[in-house]
Amino acid sequence: MDIQQDTQADSAALVSAGQSAGQLPAGENRETLLDYYHQMLLIRRFEEKTGEMYTKARIGGYCHLNLGEEATVVGFCSGLEPMDYVYTNYREHGYALGRGITPEAVMAELFGKEAGCAHGRGGSMHLFDITRHFMGGYAIVGGQIPLATGAAFAVAYRESHEVVACQMGDGTTNTGAFHESLNMAKIYHLPIIYFIVNNQYGMGLRVEKGSAVSELYRKACAYDMRSERVDGNDVLAVRDVMRAAAQYAREQHEPYLVEAVSFRYRGHSVVDPDRYRDEAEVKRGREQDPLAHFVARLQAAGMLNERDEQAMEERVEQEVEAAVHFAEESAEPAVEGLFDYIYAPDDVAMGGN
């Protein structure tokens, strides 16, 4: 859906559109689709276990879960290349897993352990892995957008071929950093994708009440930027949109905005009682379960049977339990290393690798 096309898409219709057809697109590879299923299931079970560990005080600080957004997360990651850079907000556990950070390294980071992907210094909202070009989660709403835009400027300046993908929530589109960054990205022709996860609530405020333009992809038209809205409950639809956006940004050296309409199952964070949504709304949202619908599509296509499904459940359960065990057994950061990783090493600061 280009910005020049009809912009009056209905959110509810969009959310169910990709799944109502039921059939998988022709030419899809079974192993690839089963890998998407594995990733989605891993994120679901990992986040459920994360919530449990938080209630047991094994995880501290703030903690935001991707429950209900698994198709959005996996589709986003699957549409990018390993060399591309990813910046996210604070709801980023699934994105870290989707970029290939091991469940052990992510869980250890949530536990604040030295073996975590940020050596226990970041915690839930600041996961990081430079080897996978996962440039971190950011706790400040919109804090990642100028940084991602700057990274895209660096890519353009050195004339390399990476794309920067900057994930954010719907509420972020009302901040000054969002509009300033989009303006600069268009002026300087930067290879960046701004990816909005519209889970329909910015904390406790419904998007229609918090934004004058509730169809958030339309905000790109102010900057003459291509944009598209996609069913965030359809992993293949999100993947295909991300692939197209990445190809456009990479080849045309222009920014692109994608809005994925999704639904979070729980409150804004693990301590949010979620009293601003009535039971009927939550029930409707859960009926669009992206994992259940994807399983149904795989079964209908003859790519998944009950035995395979059970085996996948057992595999993922073992992976998550292993991640918790690893985190529990890992060492705490040493007091002597309190000031490590605050500044870049001297060789990096002086232009080394």
Continuous H helices in 112-270: 144-158, 176-187, 207-210, 235-252
Stretch among 90-99, 123-132, 332-341 having the lowest mean pLDDT: 332-341
Q: What are phi and psi of 140, to 5 degrees?
A: -80, 130
Tens of pLDDT, residue by residue over 138-196, are: 999 999 999 999 999 999 999 999 999 999 999 999 999 999 999 999 999 999 999 99
CB 218 within 8 A of CB 212: no
Token match 């918090």: residue?
210
**Residue whose tokens read 């501290």:** 60
196: helix, strand or coil: strand
- Which runs of E-coded beta strand occur in the chain? 85-88, 134-137, 164-169, 192-198, 201-202, 205-206, 226-231, 256-261
Running DSSP on this structure, what letter comes out for residue 335?
A: G
DSSP secondary structure code for residue 228 in this structure:
E
Q: What local confidence, expressed as pLDDT, does residue 33 receive?
A: 98
Query: Residue range 341-352: average pLDDT?
Result: 63
| pLDDT at residue 1, rounded to an integer | 37
Q: How far apart are CA 89 and CA 138, in angstroms?
A: 5
pLDDT of 18: 45
Q: Percentage of residues in the chain with pLDDT exceeding 90?
A: 86
pLDDT attached to residue 347:
60
- The 10 Å CB-count burial string (b at 16+, else e) for 165-195 is bbbbbbbbbbbebbbebbebbbeeebbbbbb
d(CA 297, CA 50): 28
* Helix 290-300 and helix 30-55, axial crossing angle in degrees, nearest 10: 150
Residue among 120, 64, 57, 121 nearest 95 (CA)? 64
* Domains assigned to the chain: 11-331 (3.40.50.970)
Full DSSP string of 34-65: HHHHHHHHHHHHHHHHHHHHHHTTSS-S----
| Tokens standing for residue 277 | 């949504």
Q: Give the global pTM.
A: 0.91
CB 214 within 8 A of CB 275: no
Provide the pairing of β-strand 205-206 with 201-202. antiparallel
Cβ proximity of 248 and 33 under 8 Å? no
Q: What does the pLDDT look like over 6-23, one tens digit per residue? A: 333 444 345 344 444 478
pLDDT for 346: 63
- The two tokens of residue 246 are 């990445």
Q: Which amino acid is at 32?
A: T
* Alpha-carbon separation of residue 226 from 162, 186, 230, 243, 331 (angstroms): 19, 10, 14, 14, 47
Residue 3 has pLDDT above 80, yes or no: no
- Span 118-144, mean pLDDT? 96
Residues 139, 136: Cα–Cα separation, whole Å = 10
